[in-house]
Amino acid sequence: MDSVPKDTTSSELLGPNITAETIQEDIFTDSAAEMKVSPRCCSARLSLAVLMFLGISVVYGLRVNLSVAMVAMVNVTDPSGARNTTAEPACPLPSGPENSSRALQQPDGTPQYPWDSETQGWLLGAFFFGYLCTQIPGGYLAGHYGGKIFLGMGVFGTAVLTVLTPLAAGLGSRWLFALRALEGFGEGVTFPAMMAMWTRWAPPLERSFLISLSGSGGSFGACLALPLTGYICEQLGWPAVFYLCGGAGCLWFIFWCILVSDDPRTHRRISEQERDYIINSIGAQGKGHGWSLPLVSMGLSVPLWTIIVTQMCSNWSFYTLLTSLPTYMNDILHFDLQSNGFLSALPYFCSVPVSLLSGVAADWLIMRQVFSITNVRKIFTFTGLVLPALFLIAVCYAGCSHILTVTFLTLSTSLGGSSSAGVYVNQIDIAPRYAGFLLGITNTFGTIPGVVAPIVTGYFTEDHTMAGWRKVFWVAAGINIGGAVIYMIFGNGKIQAWANEEENGEEEEEERAVGPS
């Protein structure tokens, strides 16, 4: 058989100006053209994305509900938790009977506890102590064994522990702290396991949409938890929040066990056309990795460290708003409790469609070869970090205007959803086989802002002044822009050489086993 130059297909597609950066895109496009693409509608991979979306929504609801329910759990008449209200308010108080916050009414007999502000801070932060511990081990094990059991048990275990929250609270704050840390310990495996599953399930030309859809469950879960938790507390009492949220997680786990498989090869209801399309388009990178990992190469990888730093920068503003937005709405703008819950949830609701549309657009740009994978990731990372930063700066100068402030905060958080098609997909670009493990690494570092940002916010806003909140938003905006600059310089969407080492070793072993032809 005559030999064929390796760049024949790519040259035919792109002409003589082909560069090394476009080789990966050519392979993806050629593969899609040669095989019969399976429709995504009603497919097994879309069903998996929807179930992941619901599961991530549940775990984010379980994560956020305590911060809202804490208002109902604490005895506000306890003098140690009282706030100094003698300072002049930053914005004028509303006139009439609404010039003070309406006390949260709960059914008679609902227990409350005399926890001071320091105790509340420890309880709210306890989750992250456990969450930091299982990201990397979870990604490693999910990449080797498959992510179904780890994602499923992560949600189920957290849900069961959530049901025990009222019991732990009754036993004392130390018991509740330990329970919340255990919840974080269980939930830490969920996102790495999700990425490990997409290693085997997501065709390269659909990665952006499928991963954006499943990951946007986090924003949707926060959107539901913020207003519903307050409503449930008023109608049924705060213990019902944890019973209902935990029950929802247990119900989801049943469907997960029945409908999901680790690999398209073992799925019982997938069509033959879809199975062949997924397996052929992903190729050898769709297999689990071995026990050994190229840790030294990973540690020296500039693209990986770029993802880590950029994700930390992006998460700073995310966690700042997630933990402090209700406080800003209450202390500065003086919204009542019902409006506060709705308006705090609005930005996360709007970020879901932005995330999904970004995923569709990114896949289209890659499939049509409008831009390289590297440039597509840079475009959506830039828009997902710089535009939100600009609107955070605008909040600083919106003053006491309710309409402008809510509009700018909503636009900031919503546009941040476009980064789901940028840096948050990048792990599976540079090392598909190790994507779950890499997400465990990046998410571990990315959780650090979740611990530090609320502390910095509390330091800046201890006097509850507009000037203090301007510092909060300026710092978040500056960190966002810094992350965007770093990613634009060092970001990369090509498979790294160390990610192919195990694959090359497997091919050599197969050749030795077969022998010379």
Q: Kindly list the structural domains of the chain, giving each domain's residue range(s) and its CATH number in brackets, ordered by start.
A: 41-75+114-282 (1.20.1250.20), 293-516 (1.20.1250.20)
DSSP 419: G
Which segments of 237-301 does DSSP mark as H helices, in order? 238-259, 272-282, 295-299
At 347-385, the pLDDT tens digits run 888 888 999 999 999 999 998 899 999 999 999 999 999
- Higher-confidence residue: 178 or 33? 178
- Higher-confidence residue: 224 or 463? 224
Structure tokens at 448: 């650090």
Match 């609320």 to its residue by tokens.
Answer: 454
The pLDDT of 482-500, averaged and rounded, is: 92
Between the CA of residue 385 and those of 208, 210, 316, 468, 478, what are the distances in Å? 17, 21, 11, 22, 10
| pLDDT exceeds cutoff 70 at 82 | no
Match 């703008």 to its residue by tokens.
Answer: 333
The pLDDT of 73-99, averaged and rounded, is: 58
Nearest to 216 by CA among 358, 443, 53, 388: 53
Structure tokens at 19: 């560069």
DSSP 498: G
Kind and range of the H or E element at 190? helix 190-201
| Residue 245 pLDDT level (bands cut at 50, 70, 90) | very high
| Cα 132 from Cα 134, distance rounded (Å) | 6
Q: Residue 129: is it exposed, middle or buried by C-beta count within 10 angstroms (0-12/13-18/19+)?
A: middle
- Higher-confidence residue: 336 or 503? 336
218, 60 contact by CB (below 8 A): yes
Count H helices and E strands in the chain, helices first.
21, 0
Distance from chain centroid for Cα 185 = 16
| Cα 220 from Cα 241, distance rounded (Å) | 17
R_g over Cα of the chain: 24
Residue 27 confidence (pLDDT) = 47
Residue 507 confidence (pLDDT) = 47
Distance from chain centroid for Cα 277 = 28
Structure tokens at 313: 């920068």
| Cα 116 from Cα 118, distance rounded (Å) | 6
| Cα 378 from Cα 372, distance rounded (Å) | 10
| Cα 332 from Cα 87, distance rounded (Å) | 12
What is the identity of the amino acid at 181? Answer: A
Concatenated DSSP letters for 45-112?
Answer: HHHHHHHHHHHHHHHHHHHHHHHHHHHHHB-TT-GGG-----SPPSSPPPSGGGSSPPPPP--TT---
Name the phi and psi angles at 250, rounded to 5. -65, -40
| Cα 73 from Cα 110, distance rounded (Å) | 9
DSSP 421: G
At 393-418, the pLDDT tens digits run 999 998 888 889 889 999 999 999 99
Match 């036993």 to its residue by tokens.
Answer: 171
At 106-155, the pLDDT tens digits run 777 788 888 876 777 788 778 888 888 899 999 889 888 888 999 999 99
494, 287 contact by CB (below 8 A): no
| pLDDT exceeds cutoff 50 at 7 | no
- Mean of the per-residue pLDDT values of the chain: 82
pTM of the model: 0.79
Residue 303, classed as helix, strand or coil, is: helix
Query: Residue 96, by phi and psi: left (phi above 0), alpha (psi -120 to 50) or beta?
Result: left
The pLDDT of 190-200, averaged and rounded, is: 91
What is the identity of the amino acid at 162? Answer: T
Between the CA of residue 426 and those of 185, 339, 348, 415, 478, what are the distances in Å? 25, 37, 22, 18, 23
181, 124 contact by CB (below 8 A): no
Residue 432 confidence (pLDDT) = 87
| pLDDT exceeds cutoff 90 at 313 | yes
| Residue 338 pLDDT level (bands cut at 50, 70, 90) | low
Name the phi and psi angles at 203, rounded to 5. -60, 145
DSSP 397: T
Between the CA of residue 148 and those of 203, 313, 424, what are the distances in Å? 18, 30, 20
| pLDDT exceeds cutoff 90 at 40 | no
